[in-house]
Copies of this chain bind each other. A is one copy, B any other.
Amino acid sequence: MQKDEIIAIISDSVLLQGLPSEECKAFVEAGQMRCVAENCYLFHQEDPADACYFVLAGKVRLTQLTPGGKQVLVDIISPKRYFGLFASLASMTYLVSAETIEESYIYWWDAESVRELMLRFPQMALNSMTLIVRRFARLQDRVQKLATERVEQRVAHALLDVSRFVGKEIENGTMIDMALSHRDLAEMAGTNIYSISRVLHKWEDDDIVTIGRQRILLCDPDHLRILAEGG
């Protein structure tokens, strides 16, 4: 990938909206690119946040370890998105672990440098505020769901969340083509594998989903959305 191209891509990212091009250039030049093989960890939850990252190509999985010792999927970062940014800015530890799903081209900055740049270019700080508030809103949404919704609704939401990250639209629905065990779903929805099994089975009878090996087909995502909203 050419340097000019990289500058163009990163300058166009949410974090640099509204910044003059010299500042964008300075920001990009403070970082560097790295090619990472698949299934490699870039950082682990609880590590001190010493770098922040931007995906040029590839995909990165963000997971969180629950007290029960299970890894739950928090987000999948596709090209043109940042990760590890907030923890770096706040000089904290990472809240999640990050692992490549496929070979990826990652651009990265030293946390200290990013903080300095942010002091020099405060518009960046406001932009990152927008980013983090959006993430915050999503998390608060999750609290709400856990506190007020029933198991079936929560499972529906969990499936829709995953499909947002990795779902592919095909002619007869949305395909989730990844290893997603009942245990994973149970962790996400705050329930247990038995309830997951029962709910999925019921949905298969109603032709809402089809369970295959290593993949789930949402035949009727709209029906699922209705279930998620409590209809």
Enumerate A152-173 residues with CB–CB distance to B below 8 Å.
none
Would A129 and B68 be within 8 Å (CB), given that A122-B122, A123-B119, A136-B135 are in contact?
no
The complex places the Cα of A86 from the Cα of B91 at a distance, in Å, of 18
B67 & A144 in contact (Cβ 8 Å cutoff):
yes
Please name all residues of chain B whose beta carbon is closer than 8 Å to the beta carbon of A144 when the two chains form the complex: 64, 66-67, 72
- In the complex, whether A147 has a CB less than 8 A from a CB of chain B is yes
The complex places the Cα of A133 from the Cα of B72 at a distance, in Å, of 19
- In the complex, whether A48 has a CB less than 8 A from a CB of chain B is no
Enumerate A54-75 residues with CB–CB distance to B below 8 Å.
64, 66-68, 70, 72, 74
User: Which B-chain residue is minimally distant from A136 (CB atoms)?
Assistant: B136
Would A70 and B148 be within 8 Å (CB), given that A119-B122, A125-B118 are in contact?
yes
Please name all residues of chain B whose beta carbon is closer than 8 Å to the beta carbon of A72 when the two chains form the complex: 143-144, 147-148
Enumerate A10-67 residues with CB–CB distance to B below 8 Å.
64, 66-67
- In the complex, whether A202 has a CB less than 8 A from a CB of chain B is no
Nearest CB in chain B: distance from A9 CB, A: 23
- In the complex, whether A87 has a CB less than 8 A from a CB of chain B is yes
List the number of copies, as a whole number. Answer: 2
Main secondary structure of the interface of A (DSSP, over half): helix
A89 & B129 in contact (Cβ 8 Å cutoff):
yes
Q: How many residues of A contact B (CB 8 A)?
A: 44
Nearest CB in chain B: distance from A50 CB, A: 15
Question: What 0/1 readout, one digit per residue, does chain A (165-185) give for beta carbons within 8 Å of chain B?
Answer: 000000000000000000000
B87 & A133 in contact (Cβ 8 Å cutoff):
yes
19 A-B pairs in the complex with CB atoms less than 8 angstroms apart: A67-B144, A70-B148, A72-B144, A74-B140, A86-B133, A89-B126, A89-B130, A90-B129, A90-B132, A92-B133, A115-B126, A118-B125, A119-B126, A125-B125, A129-B129, A129-B132, A132-B133, A139-B140, A143-B146
Known: A74-B140, A86-B136, A90-B130. 16 other contacts (CB 8 A): A74-B143, A87-B133, A89-B130, A92-B137, A95-B133, A95-B137, A115-B126, A118-B126, A119-B126, A125-B125, A125-B126, A129-B129, A135-B136, A143-B143, A146-B147, A146-B190
